[in-house]
Structure 1
Amino acid sequence: MSDTHTELHDPHGLADADLPLERASYEALVTAVLAWQKPNLTPRDYEQIVLQLTGHDHALAADVQHHANALPKNDGRGALAEVILREAAGHLAQPIRGTAHCAQNRARLVRGLYTRLDRLTEPAPATT
């Protein structure tokens, strides 16, 4: 794949709408990708999987950011979310490669972002 980028034409802003994420499907994909030992797919197949995971990573990162922004400033979960989001941005800035390694890295990112999202959406811990 070339290192060029394609812009999404979304004049109505629907890509950032508050649509529920298709979590179960992506968690199943992540589980499958992370279970690979010696997969034998073509580079184009890997690339398609990476593109799917990358799109979901972007949607998840936006959701994590939304929930982090809604927290009170003194809630440490927001600060940790910002660290995770910076790390995610670094991973997402890496070029897409048609390899199992790239697919597994994007799958790990999905898993990490879901972990952070779960922690942001659970009730705040009680303070003493």
Structure 2
Amino acid sequence: MSGTRTVLYDPQGLIEAELPLDRAPHEALVTAALAWTDPQLQPRDYEQIALQLTGYARAVAADVQRHALTLPKNNGRRALAEVVLREAEGRLSVPLEGTARCVQNRAQLVRALYARLDRLTAADPTAP
């Protein structure tokens, strides 16, 4: 077996835009985390779940941004998307903690980003 690799250079994120996110498992994680009342996990387990949700929130935010940028600057849906993206940026800048509260905050963020993405794509006939 050869040790060759191919380096991918995609500064505009076009390949990522073509790949749909597998939404179902992450929505299941969001639903489970938001249903917690007292899960009593170890801090490192909370951190791992929060990391997963953080990565997913960033990916969904990128989708929201891509769809919002296709709209005219004076479009209300674009303005609302920009508000949601600014809030997401602020919430994602908060350091992770090994707590259920941190996980639930990230889960709520993923849910809010999906709600905005759904509103943007529902009005876009070219969206998948």
TM-score (norm 1): 0.84
Q: Equivalent residue for 2:9?
A: 12
Q: Equivalent residue for 2:107?
A: 107
Amino acid at match of 1:27: E
Distance 2:90 2:74 in 1: 26
Aligned residues between the structures: 114
Aligned pairs (5 A) from 1:19-98? 19-98=19-98
Aligned-pair CA distance for 1:82: 0.3
Distance 2:79 2:116 in 1: 11
Identical-pair percentage: 64
Distance 1:90 1:11 in 2: 30
Aligned-pair CA distance for 1:72: 2.2
| CA offset digits 1:61-104 (Å, max 9, x no partner) | 11000000001233210000000000000000000111100000
TM-score (norm 2): 0.84
Unaligned runs of 5+ in 1: 1-9
Unaligned runs of 5+ in 2: 1-6
CA RMSD of aligned residues (A): 1.6
- Higher Rg of the two aligned structures: 2
Distance 1:22 1:116 in 2: 17
